[in-house]
Amino acid sequence: MKNFLEKTRAFFASLGARFKKKQKEATSTSAVEEPKTTPRKGKRKTDRFTIVSWGVTLLLVVSLLGSTILYKNASTSQAMNQLPQGTPESSSEVPLVGVPDVSGDGGGVSAILRKLQLKTNIPERPRYEPIIYRVSRGDAMLSIADEFKLETESILYANDDLEDNPHNLKPGMELTIPPIDGIYYKWKDGDTFESVAEKFDAVADDIINFTGNDIDLTNPNIEVGTLVMIPGGARELRNWAQDLQTAGRGDNTGTGGGNATNICGGGPVASGFGWPANSHNISGNGYSASHLGLDIQANEGEPVYAAGAGIVTMAQGGWNYGYGNVVQIDHGNGYVTVYAHLSSYNVGVCTAVGQGAVIGAAGNTGNSFGAHLHFEVRISGSNVNPYQIVQ
């Protein structure tokens, strides 16, 4: 563009020079014949051709600049239309920092909208190594397992100090939290992937392919003494409920059999079962293979109710294998209910009770660190899920 302007100015300058030369040749006279002149008075007359040439030049420059600006705006508008347009869904959407908004005349670049978030979403990455968790007051095995998305049994498998009993959890205890559900196993001489998988009801390929075991897939081999994670592996847990014998009414009384530990004779028979506490919330552990009852929320001293009509076959204070103060009721239809960790009880052996009768108060006795009611339902001496029986 600069070259074009210079050529334009040169063209008009040469044209002017030629015009002046012809005018000079037409009017030239000798110095002798030239008439006498007198100096001009006033302002010097401006050359009309110079004014015209500069005006035309200025007009061309303005035209070229204007066409350039129009061309750039047209290119920007086309690029803007090709960008994805954000449509705000709510007032919580804001433009990305550093991206200009669209101006009213179509200039600028359209903003990309996104929803405002108070924290960054970081994708959860798989964990392959165990971690240590320190137990705090108020923790329960179920809440810890939920926090790490594990089954309670997996935590019991990894911590021998718990002795397969979730009630052995205490504040300050350090737990080993495995990365996935399964069981750790120390490799022994003569073990194979197939034999170990069969022992723990697992899959051999899962052991080999688990990244945390650091097994060379081209030559799968494990040295003796290596601690290996068996994904999905399981073993039989100790049944602590067996330590507290099921107390039945005795022979020929509706329950009887070899489970009877006292003879109370006849009594009422339950026709249904109700909830044994005011609260229906679970405060600690639910029913599972590692916890054969429900830990029901109950403050110290709150009433505990008989789930159904029956005969009290146990009302005993003390440690009682960690159950603390405990009451058992035989309901005469094959079912026995257990109420543990009581602060007190107001019934005796062979007392007849109706459904909903107050038999004691919730507490924190035995193997417990926090008031609650431990409630079990047994049929023919074996524990069942209370949720399947109690309304």
Q: Residue 60 has what pLDDT?
A: 83
Quote the CA–CA distance of 202 and 228 in Å, as a whole number.
13
Q: Residue 88 has what pLDDT?
A: 46
> What is the average pLDDT across 44-60?
75
Residue 132 and residue 150 in contact, taking contact as beta carbons nearer than 8 Å:
no
The number of CA neighbours under 13 Å toward the Cβ of 304 is 33
Q: Residue 90 has what pLDDT?
A: 45
Does the structure show a pLDDT above 70 at 83? no
Give per-residue pLDDT as tens, 358-387: 999 999 999 888 899 999 999 988 999 999
- How many other C-beta atoms lie within 10 A of the C-beta of residue 148? 16
Which structure tokens are listed for 32?
């002798």
Quote the CA–CA distance of 350 and 267 in Å, as a whole number.
9
Which structure tokens are listed for 264?
């109370």
Q: Residue 81 has what pLDDT?
A: 61
* Better-scored residue on pLDDT, 52 or 34: 52
Nearest to 91 by CA among 112, 113, 111: 113
Give per-residue pLDDT as tens, 159-214: 999 999 888 888 899 999 999 999 999 999 999 999 999 999 999 999 999 999 99
Q: Residue 110 has what pLDDT?
A: 54
Q: How many helices (H) and strands (E) does the chain have?
A: 6, 16
In the 3-class helix/strand/coil scheme, how is 279-348 assigned residue by residue?
A: CCCECCCCCECCECCEEEECCCCCEEECCCCEEEEEEECCCHHHCCEEEEEECCCCEEEEEEEECEECCC
Give per-residue pLDDT as tens, 230-283: 999 999 998 888 889 999 887 544 444 444 456 687 889 999 999 999 999 988
**Going from the N-terminus, what domains does the chain have, and what CATH number goes with each?**
131-231 (3.10.350.10), 240-388 (2.70.70.10)
Does the structure show a pLDDT above 90 at 138? no
pLDDT band at 92 (very low <50, low <70, confident <90, very high): very low
- Radius of gyration from C-alpha coordinates of the chain: 47
Nearest to 313 by CA among 344, 340, 338, 343: 338
Nearest to 215 by CA among 204, 224, 227, 207: 207
> What is the average pLDDT across 135-150?
89
Does the structure show a pLDDT above 50 at 89? no
Name the residue type at position 349.
Answer: V
Which of 17-31, 73-87, 120-134, 275-289 has the least mean pLDDT?
17-31
